[in-house]
Structure 1
């Protein structure tokens, strides 16, 4: 097993927040990140990009940690 750095921990947090937000959109049609951003389009985009980058970091973490086996 390997240790998670602060960026990896933040990535887990952001991806969980993103998943909860998408679940709330699907279930009750409420976008909590929109409310968090105060309705500001630019802040909303920044938050979504941060969640996207966090998801990419977690994918890299899975591959690096051999959780996903890639055959060459």
Structure 2
């Protein structure tokens, strides 16, 4: 996972927390930051950015699971002994 995907995952988590606050306490953090609430241009931009981040994060869901990579230098490789 590269830095851009991590940033998008971070924004997706922020969006999920906002939805949680909205569902539990009817408090929308993004709408509170702007004077006109959800209808303001700034809030719509934030919602759109978080939605795009969610779509990018969706690609990590279907990415193959890669284990830790082991780098082996040629100097450290010994031939196997034949039995």
TM range (shorter): 0.7 to 0.9
TM-score (normalised: structure 2)? 0.66
Task: Compare CA radii of gyration and give the structure with the larger one.
Answer: 2
Name which structure has the greater RCO, CA cutoff 8 Å, separation 6+: 1
For structure 2, the 5+ residue unaligned runs are 66-83
Q: Which runs of 5+ in 1 are unaligned?
A: 67-72
Q: Calculate the TM-score normalised by the size of structure 1.
A: 0.74
Residue 39 of structure 1 corresponds to: 35
Runs of at least 4 residues off by over 4 Å: none
Bigger share in helix: 1
